[in-house]
Structure 1
Amino acid sequence: MVKKTLYSVCFAFLILTIISSSALAAEKKDSAYQETYQNLLNSFKNYQTAATFPSQSFSYKEVGEVINDILADHPEIFYFQHKNTLIYSNGKIKISYKYPISQIKTMVSKQEKLINSILKETIQPKDSDFDKVKAIHDYIVLNTAYDWTNYQNGTVPDSSYTPYGLMVDGIAVCEGYAKTMQLLLDRAGIENEYIAGTANGGPHAWNMVKVDHHYYYVDATWNDPVPNQDDQVSYKYFLVDAKTLRKDHVWNEKQYPSAASTKYAYFQELQSVQEMGDYFYYSNSKDQDKLYRMKKDGTGKTKLINARAPYFVITHNKIYFSNYSNGGYLYKATLAGKHAKPINKVHSINLFIDQNKLYYTNKKTNKQTSIKMN
């Protein structure tokens, strides 16, 4: 009798089974595994509803692991459906997809155009590996909102777990962030790994990247403020070493290369950040969010304003900031942090500039107001 298995797993199970998927794929060099992997990959990429595996030398019970490996290696395949995919002991596989094939082709075409557009927008031909990693990280954080409401309600849609959902809808959960990082880094030629583990006691996903011959971890999800704040990027979990990350992340560390370099540890104090020229202007998370300036190579760190400033924006000659050392009132100062003076007596948050106007939200009333800048 031909046996079959229904390949269906939820995200919580899947994320644990693919912790070291890329490493497993690299180790499994036997021809039966490789043949199964390639047959399935070709079927997925050509939207075929059937595939085969060498049943004489490969058990149908192992095919599910191959599928996990493929999906871990190829985050662009967002349309495969675990449910109703059938694996038979005679070497046949019936593949199920989430959408009609005509729709998948349209979605894949849109995804590819977005990938090319993002890379063209964020990466320049002479960029270093560091520049590429930072540009991709920043794009994801700045153009994505964490799907917090659905996460709290247990109603996260499938799209929020995928690069397609992140790039098209601008909404994702951790798996979507990490898979998009993986996909864009792959296309940019940066060695990287998708990492799955736990953080704060729940399933979580992030990335490992290789920059200048050293490995680091990047957690784009935890670098994106929740609730979402436009134009705000945190770097607390950007290019961190394993020792730093394991303070609040848990994963099978032995499955990955050593990540001991602390070359970019200075990024961890950058909370809210604005870039201008060769400098980062930032709220220093290690000094009560007081306003600092630092060269982009980590040198020349200077405290500009001895006041808590979690919200701020800069122009070519001014800094506008919410002074949390004085009621959150809106202040302005020179780029050197001099001559700071109040503009209003309102607890002001979520600052941004548009067409020579400074916008802020009144924390008490939640109403947005604008003022014309001098």
Structure 2
Amino acid sequence: MLKRITFLVILVVFAKPVYDEASKFLTDRVPAENVTVETAEPIKAERTSDQQLIETANQTEQIAQATKPAKVENVEQLAEAFFYHFSRLDTEFTIEYRGSTAEIERLLTKATEEAAQRDTYIAGHLSNREMEYEYSKTKATIRVKQSYLTNLQQEKAVESMVDSIVSTAQPEEMTDFEKVKFVNDYIVKNTEYSEESIASSHSAYAVAYEGKGVCQGYALFAQKLLEALGMESMYVVGEVYTGGHAWNLVKVDGEWYHLDTTWNDPVPDRGNGVRYDYFLLNDRDMRVDHSWEAAAYPKAESSTYSFMHVVQDSYEFGDDIYFSHSEDENKLYKLNKTTGKMTKVADVRALYIVGAGDWLYFSNYSKGAYLSKIRMDGTELTTLFKEEVKDLFIEGDYVYFTAESGAKKVAIEGNI
């Protein structure tokens, strides 16, 4: 006689982790004078058309390598069968199991857990699951309804986006450190922490194509990019003070480190503003405000890159990173990526740093947050626009920025 049991598995996706933004500076505002400033036309970052990519997606293509087992007679084969269907993002499937069913519920729980562990990117996109099974002492028919935070079309689009991003990186010429920094910077600069996305905000697709998402989406897309750059990476599930949270572990030059791209992204969003507070941390430093099941992940013990944790609002030029020092009143510093040596460039509080030629442009919080420029050797500090400015970026021959009076641009001709 067959027995029938139905049960529902609710997979929890992570709630929004809230944390305080860095302290704001108080500044005075005065009218601009003796500078040519133009109102800027909006410049929008272009993303590859997701609709074009979706139209070319193969409906039957799986997103990971998996083989359907010829028979399912033990927990390992059962896990392989579940992984096969998970990897294809199958929403309804049936598995015929032949073996002892004395502990059928424990068997199914273990098999689904093992299947998820085979690819944490896929596991991170699993959502609710309903299973119904009919069984006797020696066999079971298992019918599954599985939902996901993504679909085949979206995953095809994510793959295309990853290929496009990686093609700009020249990974064969990059160190492991530079690859991780590239991924961290790309995600932070192009993503706004938000639950208000069209696709699931917990998916890699929302981060890749909408530039919006929550910690789960950040970490899943980071894993996709890191692996595409040849880095060994893991998706980590843990907790912070607000509840469930997700981030990555990544192996750099043979050592494991934590990377939390979500908590490196300022809230409210600051465009090109990037933090490195949670960039290549060891277990000890990460445990200050993160917790996880340590036995499930490799140990991260190195502090090689601890020098990065004071870097904020940076601009790279050659082997040097020019940045705002978060532990020295946001003063302007220079860091050599190879040696880790830091030197102060100028005794000014600088944010929103960008560069052109041998000049740095920034919001000078030592002087009303005015638009200023300085040579990379710390000489010729000059005020360009006497109004509080933010969100600087360079496009062509102009520095674009946002002022109290609106979007503006200043020509950089003659300075480069």
Structure-1-length-normalised TM-score: 0.83
1:81 CA displacement: 4.3
Contact 2:93 2:145 in 1 (8 A): yes
Identify the residue that residue 190 of structure 1 maps to in structure 2: 231
1:198 CA displacement: 1.8
Identify the residue that residue 389 of structure 2 maps to in structure 1: 348
Contact 2:197 2:212 in 1 (8 A): no
Quick one: structure 1 residues 39 and 267, their matched pair in 2 at CA, closer, same or farther if it must change by over 3 Å? same
1:312 CA displacement: 1.9
Identify the residue that residue 369 of structure 1 maps to in structure 2: 408
Q: How does 1:221-300 map to 2 (within 5 A)?
A: 221-300=262-341
Quick one: structure 1 residues 161 and 287, their matched pair in 2 at CA, closer, same or farther if it must change by over 3 Å? same
Aligned with 2:9 (options 3, 7, 10): 7
Identify the residue that residue 22 of structure 1 maps to in structure 2: none
* Secondary structure of residue in 1 paired with 2:4: coil
Quick one: structure 1 residues 265 and 36, their matched pair in 2 at CA, closer, same or farther if it must change by over 3 Å? same
Unaligned runs of 5+ in 1: 14-30
Identify the residue that residue 75 of structure 1 maps to in structure 2: 121
Contact 2:235 2:249 in 1 (8 A): yes
* Structure 1 Cα separation of the partners of residues 213 and 108 of structure 2: 29
Identify the residue that residue 333 of structure 1 maps to in structure 2: 374
Contact 2:124 2:216 in 1 (8 A): no
1:359 CA displacement: 1.6
Q: Which of structures 1 and 2 has the larger relative contact order (alpha carbons within 8 angstroms, sep 6+)?
A: 2
Quick one: structure 1 residues 344 and 186, their matched pair in 2 at CA, closer, same or farther if it must change by over 3 Å? closer
Worse-matched range after superposition: 82-91 or 333-342: 82-91
* Structure 1 Cα separation of the partners of residues 367 and 349 of structure 2: 9
Aligned with 1:118 (options 152, 165, 190): 165
* Secondary structure of residue in 2 paired with 1:342: strand
**In structure 2, what residue type is equivalent to 1:244?**
D
* Secondary structure of residue in 1 paired with 2:281: coil
Do residues 359 (structure 1) and 400 (structure 2) align?
A: yes
* Secondary structure of residue in 1 paired with 2:308: helix
1:190 CA displacement: 2.5
**Aligned residue pairs: how many?**
347
Contact 2:4 2:132 in 1 (8 A): no
1:263 CA displacement: 0.7
1:110 CA displacement: 2.0
1:344 CA displacement: 2.4
* Secondary structure of residue in 2 paired with 1:113: helix
* Secondary structure of residue in 1 paired with 2:368: coil
* Structure 2 Cα separation of the partners of residues 171 and 71 of structure 1: 25
* Secondary structure of residue in 2 paired with 1:336: coil
* Secondary structure of residue in 2 paired with 1:139: helix
Do residues 92 (structure 1) and 142 (structure 2) align?
A: yes
Do residues 59 (structure 1) and 104 (structure 2) align?
A: yes
Contact 1:7 1:87 in 2 (8 A): no
Contact 2:370 2:387 in 1 (8 A): yes
Worse-matched range after superposition: 277-286 or 79-88: 79-88
Identify the residue that residue 25 of structure 1 maps to in structure 2: none
**In structure 2, what residue type is equivalent to 1:198?**
E
Q: Deviations over 1:31-77 (max 9, x none)?
A: 83321221012123345421324562562344345435544524247
**In structure 1, what residue type is equivalent to 2:10?**
S
Do residues 140 (structure 1) and 142 (structure 2) align?
A: no
1:313 CA displacement: 1.4
Do residues 39 (structure 1) and 89 (structure 2) align?
A: no
Percent same amino acid at aligned positions? 29
Q: CA RMSD in A?
A: 2.8
Contact 1:45 1:77 in 2 (8 A): no
Identify the residue that residue 153 of structure 2 maps to in structure 1: 106
1:200 CA displacement: 3.1
**In structure 2, what residue type is equivalent to 1:110?**
A
Larger proportion of helix: 1
Contact 2:256 2:301 in 1 (8 A): yes
Identify the residue that residue 60 of structure 2 maps to in structure 1: none
1:131 CA displacement: 3.1
1:111 CA displacement: 2.5
Quick one: structure 1 residues 12 and 62, their matched pair in 2 at CA, closer, same or farther if it must change by over 3 Å? farther
Contact 1:330 1:345 in 2 (8 A): yes
* Bigger Rg, which one: 2
* Structure 2 Cα separation of the partners of residues 79 and 259 of structure 1: 25
1:338 CA displacement: 0.8
